[in-house]
Structures are given as C-alpha cells and as structure tokens.
Amino acid sequence: MQAKTWVMGVMLAAGLLTGCGAGVEENTSNEAVSDQALSRCEAGCEARFNFCVQRQTQPLEVCRSEFASCLESCELNPL
C-alpha cells in the first residue's frame, strides 16, 4: 500500500513539475525552455521532498535540509 502511495506522490510531483504550459510565450526559443527543465536528479529531489512533507514523518525543517542536501548532490546551488 505504501508503494502505491509513493508512486502516486511521484506522479503528482511530475505532473506539477511539467505543468500545463500556461503562461509560456509562444515565441520562446527551445533553448530558453530547455534551460527551465529539471534534470532527473532535481525531479527526484523534488519528489522526495514532496513525499517527506506529505507523509509528515519528520519535521518540515528536516525535509528542507534533506532537499537542500539532495540538490547539492545534483551539483546545484540550492540557495
């Protein structure tokens, strides 16, 4: 049952990350759009953060610090 909940959380996060395209100008170049796309690592960090927050098994501060650590491991500056 937990696996199903986790999968639904990941799918929800992926759906929220991809969005519906609202607010994107039609004249936007492909380079500008690709610069905004999340890497698989970043998307995984986002999904784990959402899962941590939704399950509320840890304080929000712990979820945030784990999210920041995850982004750092993706070679990003989380700030």
Q: Where are the chain's structural domains?
A: 1-10+41-79
- Mean pLDDT by 10-residue block, N- to C-terminus, for the chain (79 residues)? 68 65 53 67 92 91 94 69
pLDDT of the residue at 45: 93
pLDDT of residue 37: 77
d(CA 32, CA 37): 9
Q: Cβ contacts of residue 2 below 8 Å, gap of 6+?
A: none
Structure confidence at residue 18 (pLDDT): 64
- pTM exceeds 0.85, yes or no: no
- Residues 48/55, Cβ–Cβ less than 8 Å: no
